[in-house]
Amino acid sequence: MAAGLVISAPASGVGKTTLTLALARAWRNRGLKVQCFKSGPDYIDPAFHAAATGRASVNVDSWAMDRGAIAHLVSRGADADVVLAEGSMGLFDGVAARGVSGTGATADIAEMLGWPVVLVIDPSGQAQTAAAIAAGLRDYRAGVRLAGVVLNRVASPRHEDLVRRALNDAGIAVFGALPRHAEISLPKRHLGLVQAEEQAEIGKLIDEAARFVAEHVDLDAVLQSAAKWSPQATANGLNVTPPGQRIALARDAAFSFVYPHMLEAWRAAGAEISTFSPLADEVPDPSADVCWLPGGYPELHAGRIAANARFRSGLRGFAETRPVHGECGGYMVLGAALTDADGVRHEMAGLLGLETSFAKRRMHLGYRLAELAAPMPGHQVGARLRGHEFHYSTILAQPDTPLAVVHDATGTVIAETGSQRGRATGTFFHLIAEDR
Protein backbone atom coordinates (compact mmCIF):
# COMPACT_ATOMS: atom_id res chain seq x y z
CA MET A 1 0.00 0.00 0.00
CA ALA A 2 1.32 3.43 -0.94
CA ALA A 3 1.79 6.26 1.54
CA GLY A 4 0.70 9.77 0.55
CA LEU A 5 1.94 13.23 1.52
CA VAL A 6 1.31 16.77 0.33
CA ILE A 7 4.21 19.24 0.21
CA SER A 8 2.95 22.78 0.73
CA ALA A 9 3.90 26.13 2.25
CA PRO A 10 2.47 29.44 3.45
CA ALA A 11 3.36 31.10 0.12
CA SER A 12 5.17 30.75 -3.19
CA GLY A 13 8.95 30.85 -3.41
CA VAL A 14 9.86 29.13 -0.15
CA GLY A 15 11.23 25.87 -1.58
CA LYS A 16 8.35 23.43 -2.19
CA THR A 17 9.72 22.18 -5.50
CA THR A 18 13.26 21.76 -4.22
CA LEU A 19 12.09 19.78 -1.18
CA THR A 20 9.75 17.65 -3.29
CA LEU A 21 12.52 16.78 -5.74
CA ALA A 22 15.02 16.11 -2.95
CA LEU A 23 12.69 13.82 -1.00
CA ALA A 24 11.68 11.98 -4.16
CA ARG A 25 15.27 11.38 -5.24
CA ALA A 26 16.50 10.52 -1.73
CA TRP A 27 13.78 7.89 -1.28
CA ARG A 28 14.34 6.60 -4.81
CA ASN A 29 18.04 6.22 -3.95
CA ARG A 30 16.93 4.03 -1.06
CA GLY A 31 15.12 1.74 -3.49
CA LEU A 32 11.58 3.08 -3.01
CA LYS A 33 9.16 3.72 -5.86
CA VAL A 34 8.11 7.38 -5.72
CA GLN A 35 5.23 8.95 -7.61
CA CYS A 36 4.74 12.73 -7.79
CA PHE A 37 1.80 14.93 -8.72
CA LYS A 38 1.37 18.68 -9.04
CA SER A 39 -1.64 20.37 -7.50
CA GLY A 40 -2.83 23.21 -9.66
CA PRO A 41 -2.19 24.49 -13.18
CA ASP A 42 1.58 24.29 -13.47
CA TYR A 43 3.01 22.78 -16.66
CA ILE A 44 6.69 23.08 -15.66
CA ASP A 45 7.04 21.23 -12.36
CA PRO A 46 5.83 17.80 -13.59
CA ALA A 47 8.90 17.51 -15.81
CA PHE A 48 11.13 18.07 -12.77
CA HIS A 49 9.16 15.42 -10.89
CA ALA A 50 9.76 12.96 -13.72
CA ALA A 51 13.47 13.75 -13.68
CA ALA A 52 13.61 13.02 -9.94
CA THR A 53 11.51 9.85 -9.88
CA GLY A 54 11.76 8.31 -13.34
CA ARG A 55 7.94 8.26 -13.44
CA ALA A 56 5.62 10.61 -15.31
CA SER A 57 3.91 13.24 -13.14
CA VAL A 58 0.58 14.91 -13.89
CA ASN A 59 -1.50 17.80 -12.59
CA VAL A 60 -4.53 17.43 -10.35
CA ASP A 61 -6.79 20.46 -10.12
CA SER A 62 -9.88 20.85 -7.94
CA TRP A 63 -11.18 23.90 -9.84
CA ALA A 64 -11.11 22.25 -13.26
CA MET A 65 -11.53 18.54 -12.45
CA ASP A 66 -14.16 16.50 -10.68
CA ARG A 67 -13.31 13.99 -7.98
CA GLY A 68 -13.53 11.09 -10.40
CA ALA A 69 -10.97 12.62 -12.73
CA ILE A 70 -8.61 13.35 -9.84
CA ALA A 71 -9.01 9.81 -8.50
CA HIS A 72 -8.32 8.48 -11.99
CA LEU A 73 -5.11 10.50 -12.29
CA VAL A 74 -3.71 9.67 -8.86
CA SER A 75 -4.43 5.96 -9.31
CA ARG A 76 -1.13 5.71 -11.20
CA GLY A 77 0.51 5.88 -7.77
CA ALA A 78 -1.06 2.59 -6.68
CA ASP A 79 2.16 0.63 -7.20
CA ALA A 80 4.38 3.25 -5.57
CA ASP A 81 5.79 3.13 -2.05
CA VAL A 82 5.32 6.84 -1.48
CA VAL A 83 3.26 9.44 -3.33
CA LEU A 84 4.05 13.16 -3.12
CA ALA A 85 1.67 15.88 -4.25
CA GLU A 86 3.44 19.22 -4.60
CA GLY A 87 1.22 22.22 -3.97
CA SER A 88 0.94 25.59 -5.66
CA MET A 89 1.30 28.96 -3.91
CA GLY A 90 0.18 28.79 -0.28
CA LEU A 91 -1.72 25.86 1.22
CA PHE A 92 -5.15 27.49 1.14
CA ASP A 93 -4.66 29.77 -1.86
CA GLY A 94 -7.31 29.35 -4.53
CA VAL A 95 -9.91 31.41 -6.32
CA ALA A 96 -12.87 33.16 -4.72
CA ALA A 97 -15.58 31.07 -6.40
CA ARG A 98 -15.69 27.28 -6.15
CA GLY A 99 -15.12 25.35 -9.36
CA VAL A 100 -15.87 21.70 -10.14
CA SER A 101 -14.68 20.20 -6.84
CA GLY A 102 -12.92 23.09 -5.09
CA THR A 103 -11.19 26.42 -5.47
CA GLY A 104 -7.93 25.06 -6.89
CA ALA A 105 -6.25 25.20 -3.47
CA THR A 106 -3.69 22.58 -2.46
CA ALA A 107 -5.76 22.06 0.70
CA ASP A 108 -8.60 20.70 -1.47
CA ILE A 109 -6.36 17.89 -2.72
CA ALA A 110 -5.00 17.17 0.76
CA GLU A 111 -8.50 16.85 2.20
CA MET A 112 -9.89 14.95 -0.80
CA LEU A 113 -7.14 12.32 -0.70
CA GLY A 114 -6.72 12.27 3.08
CA TRP A 115 -2.99 12.97 2.83
CA PRO A 116 -1.19 14.91 5.61
CA VAL A 117 0.68 18.10 4.74
CA VAL A 118 4.38 18.76 5.20
CA LEU A 119 4.87 22.51 5.33
CA VAL A 120 8.00 24.17 4.01
CA ILE A 121 8.56 27.32 6.06
CA ASP A 122 11.14 29.98 5.35
CA PRO A 123 11.66 31.81 8.67
CA SER A 124 13.89 34.52 7.18
CA GLY A 125 13.39 37.75 9.08
CA GLN A 126 11.41 36.10 11.87
CA ALA A 127 11.69 33.47 14.59
CA GLN A 128 8.77 32.53 16.86
CA THR A 129 6.32 34.08 14.40
CA ALA A 130 7.05 31.15 12.08
CA ALA A 131 5.40 28.88 14.65
CA ALA A 132 2.35 31.14 14.80
CA ILE A 133 2.02 30.89 11.01
CA ALA A 134 2.35 27.11 11.08
CA ALA A 135 -0.19 26.81 13.90
CA GLY A 136 -2.61 29.03 12.00
CA LEU A 137 -2.32 26.87 8.92
CA ARG A 138 -2.76 23.72 11.02
CA ASP A 139 -5.99 25.01 12.57
CA TYR A 140 -7.51 26.84 9.61
CA ARG A 141 -9.47 23.95 8.07
CA ALA A 142 -10.57 20.90 10.04
CA GLY A 143 -10.25 18.42 7.17
CA VAL A 144 -6.60 19.23 6.49
CA ARG A 145 -4.01 17.51 8.70
CA LEU A 146 -0.54 18.91 9.31
CA ALA A 147 2.19 16.27 9.58
CA GLY A 148 4.98 18.70 10.42
CA VAL A 149 7.34 21.26 8.96
CA VAL A 150 10.70 21.53 7.28
CA LEU A 151 12.46 24.82 7.84
CA ASN A 152 14.28 26.29 4.87
CA ARG A 153 17.02 28.93 4.69
CA VAL A 154 17.64 29.17 8.42
CA ALA A 155 20.26 31.81 9.17
CA SER A 156 22.19 30.15 12.01
CA PRO A 157 22.02 27.44 14.68
CA ARG A 158 20.65 30.03 17.13
CA HIS A 159 17.95 31.04 14.66
CA GLU A 160 17.01 27.39 14.13
CA ASP A 161 16.83 26.81 17.90
CA LEU A 162 14.46 29.73 18.42
CA VAL A 163 12.11 28.54 15.70
CA ARG A 164 12.28 24.90 16.77
CA ARG A 165 11.45 25.74 20.38
CA ALA A 166 8.40 27.75 19.33
CA LEU A 167 7.17 25.00 17.03
CA ASN A 168 7.67 22.35 19.71
CA ASP A 169 5.67 24.51 22.14
CA ALA A 170 2.89 24.66 19.57
CA GLY A 171 2.92 20.87 19.25
CA ILE A 172 4.21 20.90 15.67
CA ALA A 173 6.83 18.38 14.58
CA VAL A 174 10.00 19.70 12.95
CA PHE A 175 11.40 17.19 10.48
CA GLY A 176 14.51 19.20 9.74
CA ALA A 177 16.08 22.57 9.06
CA LEU A 178 17.95 23.52 5.90
CA PRO A 179 20.66 26.19 5.94
CA ARG A 180 20.98 28.38 2.87
CA HIS A 181 22.65 26.38 0.08
CA ALA A 182 23.02 28.07 -3.29
CA GLU A 183 24.01 24.84 -5.03
CA ILE A 184 20.42 23.56 -4.94
CA SER A 185 18.73 26.73 -6.19
CA LEU A 186 16.68 26.14 -9.33
CA PRO A 187 17.08 28.88 -11.99
CA LYS A 188 13.98 30.94 -12.77
CA ARG A 189 12.54 33.16 -15.49
CA HIS A 190 9.37 35.18 -15.91
CA LEU A 191 6.89 32.25 -16.08
CA GLY A 192 8.54 30.16 -13.37
CA LEU A 193 11.45 27.75 -13.27
CA VAL A 194 13.69 27.28 -16.28
CA GLN A 195 12.35 24.06 -17.78
CA ALA A 196 13.94 20.77 -16.77
CA GLU A 197 14.68 19.83 -20.39
CA GLU A 198 16.71 23.04 -20.79
CA GLN A 199 19.02 22.21 -17.87
CA ALA A 200 21.77 19.80 -18.85
CA GLU A 201 22.86 19.41 -15.22
CA ILE A 202 19.38 18.85 -13.75
CA GLY A 203 20.24 15.30 -12.63
CA LYS A 204 23.28 16.49 -10.70
CA LEU A 205 21.32 19.36 -9.13
CA ILE A 206 18.60 16.97 -7.92
CA ASP A 207 21.24 14.58 -6.60
CA GLU A 208 22.86 17.41 -4.64
CA ALA A 209 19.49 18.51 -3.29
CA ALA A 210 18.78 14.93 -2.20
CA ARG A 211 22.16 14.66 -0.48
CA PHE A 212 21.71 18.00 1.26
CA VAL A 213 18.17 17.29 2.43
CA ALA A 214 19.08 13.79 3.63
CA GLU A 215 21.82 15.40 5.74
CA HIS A 216 19.45 17.87 7.42
CA VAL A 217 15.99 16.24 7.37
CA ASP A 218 14.81 13.07 9.13
CA LEU A 219 13.67 11.16 6.04
CA ASP A 220 12.32 8.26 8.11
CA ALA A 221 10.15 10.56 10.22
CA VAL A 222 8.75 12.27 7.13
CA LEU A 223 7.95 8.92 5.55
CA GLN A 224 6.31 7.63 8.75
CA SER A 225 4.06 10.70 8.82
CA ALA A 226 2.54 9.80 5.44
CA ALA A 227 -0.96 8.34 5.32
CA LYS A 228 -1.45 4.80 4.06
CA TRP A 229 -3.43 5.09 0.85
CA SER A 230 -4.89 2.96 -1.90
CA PRO A 231 -6.70 4.48 -4.88
CA GLN A 232 -10.48 4.51 -4.97
CA ALA A 233 -12.09 2.62 -7.82
CA THR A 234 -13.72 5.03 -10.27
CA ALA A 235 -15.46 4.65 -13.58
CA ASN A 236 -14.76 8.26 -14.45
CA GLY A 237 -11.79 9.24 -16.54
CA LEU A 238 -10.89 12.64 -17.89
CA ASN A 239 -13.30 14.86 -19.79
CA VAL A 240 -11.00 15.25 -22.77
CA THR A 241 -11.73 14.94 -26.50
CA PRO A 242 -8.68 14.74 -28.80
CA PRO A 243 -8.49 17.52 -31.40
CA GLY A 244 -7.99 14.91 -34.12
CA GLN A 245 -6.99 11.33 -34.88
CA ARG A 246 -3.41 12.21 -35.84
CA ILE A 247 -2.05 15.31 -34.13
CA ALA A 248 1.04 17.23 -35.22
CA LEU A 249 2.31 18.75 -31.97
CA ALA A 250 4.90 21.54 -31.89
CA ARG A 251 7.48 20.56 -29.29
CA ASP A 252 10.75 22.32 -28.44
CA ALA A 253 12.08 24.99 -26.06
CA ALA A 254 9.59 27.55 -27.44
CA PHE A 255 6.56 25.22 -27.43
CA SER A 256 6.50 23.00 -24.37
CA PHE A 257 3.68 24.15 -22.09
CA VAL A 258 1.19 21.34 -22.40
CA TYR A 259 -0.32 19.43 -19.51
CA PRO A 260 0.90 15.82 -19.42
CA HIS A 261 -2.58 14.54 -18.61
CA MET A 262 -3.89 16.08 -21.84
CA LEU A 263 -1.41 14.19 -24.00
CA GLU A 264 -2.11 10.97 -22.09
CA ALA A 265 -5.86 11.45 -22.51
CA TRP A 266 -5.50 12.07 -26.24
CA ARG A 267 -3.51 8.86 -26.63
CA ALA A 268 -5.92 6.93 -24.39
CA ALA A 269 -8.75 8.01 -26.70
CA GLY A 270 -6.88 6.53 -29.65
CA ALA A 271 -5.17 9.62 -31.06
CA GLU A 272 -1.63 9.49 -32.44
CA ILE A 273 0.82 12.33 -31.75
CA SER A 274 3.78 13.28 -33.94
CA THR A 275 6.06 16.10 -32.80
CA PHE A 276 7.95 18.69 -34.79
CA SER A 277 10.23 21.61 -33.87
CA PRO A 278 9.46 25.09 -35.19
CA LEU A 279 12.82 26.25 -33.80
CA ALA A 280 14.53 23.66 -36.02
CA ASP A 281 12.49 24.99 -38.98
CA GLU A 282 10.46 21.78 -39.17
CA VAL A 283 6.92 21.55 -40.51
CA PRO A 284 3.87 19.63 -39.28
CA ASP A 285 3.60 15.99 -40.30
CA PRO A 286 1.77 16.08 -43.66
CA SER A 287 -0.20 12.95 -42.68
CA ALA A 288 -1.67 14.68 -39.59
CA ASP A 289 -5.25 15.89 -39.61
CA VAL A 290 -4.72 18.68 -37.07
CA CYS A 291 -1.80 20.82 -35.85
CA TRP A 292 -1.52 21.97 -32.24
CA LEU A 293 0.90 24.66 -31.06
CA PRO A 294 1.11 24.70 -27.25
CA GLY A 295 2.42 27.58 -25.17
CA GLY A 296 5.99 28.11 -24.13
CA TYR A 297 8.51 30.88 -24.64
CA PRO A 298 8.14 32.17 -28.22
CA GLU A 299 8.91 35.67 -26.94
CA LEU A 300 12.46 34.47 -26.16
CA HIS A 301 12.87 33.00 -29.66
CA ALA A 302 10.82 35.40 -31.77
CA GLY A 303 13.66 36.33 -34.11
CA ARG A 304 14.48 32.71 -34.83
CA ILE A 305 10.82 31.81 -35.41
CA ALA A 306 10.43 34.76 -37.78
CA ALA A 307 13.53 33.68 -39.70
CA ASN A 308 12.34 30.08 -40.10
CA ALA A 309 10.55 30.55 -43.40
CA ARG A 310 10.09 26.83 -44.00
CA PHE A 311 8.19 26.41 -40.73
CA ARG A 312 5.98 29.43 -41.31
CA SER A 313 5.14 28.59 -44.92
CA GLY A 314 4.61 24.92 -44.03
CA LEU A 315 2.22 25.88 -41.27
CA ARG A 316 0.28 28.17 -43.62
CA GLY A 317 0.11 25.39 -46.19
CA PHE A 318 -1.16 22.94 -43.58
CA ALA A 319 -3.90 25.39 -42.54
CA GLU A 320 -5.23 25.57 -46.09
CA THR A 321 -6.79 22.14 -45.69
CA ARG A 322 -6.70 21.23 -41.99
CA PRO A 323 -7.28 22.94 -38.63
CA VAL A 324 -4.48 24.56 -36.64
CA HIS A 325 -4.87 25.60 -33.00
CA GLY A 326 -2.55 27.55 -30.72
CA GLU A 327 -2.55 27.97 -26.94
CA CYS A 328 -1.03 31.10 -25.39
CA GLY A 329 2.47 31.23 -26.94
CA GLY A 330 1.22 29.07 -29.79
CA TYR A 331 -1.64 31.52 -30.30
CA MET A 332 0.85 34.38 -30.43
CA VAL A 333 2.88 32.58 -33.12
CA LEU A 334 -0.26 32.00 -35.21
CA GLY A 335 -0.78 35.78 -35.14
CA ALA A 336 0.55 38.51 -37.40
CA ALA A 337 3.43 39.77 -35.26
CA LEU A 338 5.15 39.51 -31.88
CA THR A 339 7.14 42.39 -30.39
CA ASP A 340 9.96 41.16 -28.15
CA ALA A 341 11.27 42.63 -24.89
CA ASP A 342 13.61 44.97 -26.79
CA GLY A 343 10.73 46.42 -28.78
CA VAL A 344 11.64 44.64 -32.02
CA ARG A 345 8.63 43.54 -34.08
CA HIS A 346 8.87 40.03 -35.58
CA GLU A 347 6.55 38.67 -38.23
CA MET A 348 4.78 35.48 -37.19
CA ALA A 349 2.71 32.95 -39.17
CA GLY A 350 -0.08 35.37 -40.04
CA LEU A 351 -2.88 32.79 -39.83
CA LEU A 352 -4.58 35.10 -37.34
CA GLY A 353 -4.49 38.87 -37.01
CA LEU A 354 -3.36 38.81 -33.37
CA GLU A 355 -0.48 41.15 -32.53
CA THR A 356 1.19 40.95 -29.13
CA SER A 357 3.97 42.76 -27.32
CA PHE A 358 6.34 41.48 -24.67
CA ALA A 359 7.90 44.95 -24.45
CA LYS A 360 4.67 46.15 -22.82
CA ARG A 361 4.52 43.61 -20.04
CA ARG A 362 1.37 42.97 -18.08
CA MET A 363 0.65 39.80 -16.14
CA HIS A 364 -2.47 37.84 -17.08
CA LEU A 365 -3.11 35.07 -14.57
CA GLY A 366 -6.07 32.94 -13.59
CA TYR A 367 -8.53 30.19 -14.30
CA ARG A 368 -10.74 30.53 -17.37
CA LEU A 369 -14.15 29.09 -18.26
CA ALA A 370 -14.84 29.45 -21.98
CA GLU A 371 -17.99 28.84 -23.98
CA LEU A 372 -17.12 28.42 -27.64
CA ALA A 373 -18.76 30.83 -30.08
CA ALA A 374 -16.97 29.13 -32.99
CA PRO A 375 -15.69 25.56 -33.36
CA MET A 376 -12.11 24.58 -32.56
CA PRO A 377 -10.38 21.22 -33.03
CA GLY A 378 -12.23 18.61 -31.01
CA HIS A 379 -15.00 20.92 -29.83
CA GLN A 380 -18.15 22.40 -31.32
CA VAL A 381 -19.96 25.69 -30.77
CA GLY A 382 -21.37 25.83 -27.25
CA ALA A 383 -18.73 23.56 -25.69
CA ARG A 384 -17.59 24.70 -22.25
CA LEU A 385 -13.88 24.41 -21.57
CA ARG A 386 -11.92 24.91 -18.36
CA GLY A 387 -8.38 26.18 -18.52
CA HIS A 388 -5.77 28.51 -17.10
CA GLU A 389 -4.06 31.62 -18.45
CA PHE A 390 -0.60 32.85 -17.46
CA HIS A 391 1.47 35.19 -19.59
CA TYR A 392 2.95 38.69 -19.62
CA SER A 393 2.19 39.74 -23.19
CA THR A 394 -0.03 42.68 -24.08
CA ILE A 395 -2.57 42.45 -26.90
CA LEU A 396 -1.95 45.16 -29.50
CA ALA A 397 -4.57 43.86 -31.94
CA GLN A 398 -7.10 41.01 -31.85
CA PRO A 399 -9.18 41.67 -35.00
CA ASP A 400 -10.56 38.23 -35.84
CA THR A 401 -13.82 36.56 -34.93
CA PRO A 402 -13.86 35.86 -31.18
CA LEU A 403 -13.47 32.16 -30.52
CA ALA A 404 -15.30 32.14 -27.19
CA VAL A 405 -16.96 34.06 -24.43
CA VAL A 406 -14.37 33.72 -21.69
CA HIS A 407 -14.97 34.24 -17.97
CA ASP A 408 -12.53 34.33 -15.10
CA ALA A 409 -13.11 32.30 -11.95
CA THR A 410 -15.50 34.91 -10.52
CA GLY A 411 -17.68 34.85 -13.64
CA THR A 412 -16.43 38.16 -15.01
CA VAL A 413 -16.16 38.32 -18.81
CA ILE A 414 -12.59 39.05 -19.93
CA ALA A 415 -11.17 40.54 -23.13
CA GLU A 416 -8.96 37.57 -24.04
CA THR A 417 -11.61 35.85 -26.17
CA GLY A 418 -9.31 33.89 -28.43
CA SER A 419 -9.61 34.13 -32.19
CA GLN A 420 -10.88 32.23 -35.22
CA ARG A 421 -10.07 32.81 -38.87
CA GLY A 422 -10.60 30.12 -41.47
CA ARG A 423 -9.18 26.88 -40.09
CA ALA A 424 -6.97 28.64 -37.52
CA THR A 425 -8.01 29.11 -33.90
CA GLY A 426 -6.21 30.23 -30.77
CA THR A 427 -6.71 30.94 -27.08
CA PHE A 428 -4.64 32.50 -24.34
CA PHE A 429 -5.77 29.83 -21.89
CA HIS A 430 -4.34 26.32 -21.71
CA LEU A 431 -7.05 23.67 -21.78
CA ILE A 432 -7.25 21.52 -18.65
CA ALA A 433 -10.62 19.76 -18.98
CA GLU A 434 -13.97 19.87 -20.68
CA ASP A 435 -16.88 21.09 -18.57
CA ARG A 436 -19.66 18.51 -18.91
Non-local (6+) Cβ contacts of 328 within 8 A are 257, 294, 295, 389, 390, 391, 427, 428, 429, 430
Spot the catalytic one: 119, 306, 328, 431. Answer: 328
Helices (H), 217-292: 219-224, 260-268
Listed as own residue / partner, the contacts of 153-162 with beta carbons closer than 8 Å and 24 or more positions apart are: 153/15, 153/122, 153/123, 153/124, 153/178, 153/179, 153/180, 154/123, 154/178, 154/179, 154/180, 155/124, 155/180, 159/123, 159/127, 162/127, 162/128
328 catalytically annotated: yes
Size of the chain, expressed as the number of residues it contains: 436
Closest CA to 159 of 130, 119, 118: 130
Q: Which residues does the annotation mark as catalytic?
A: 328
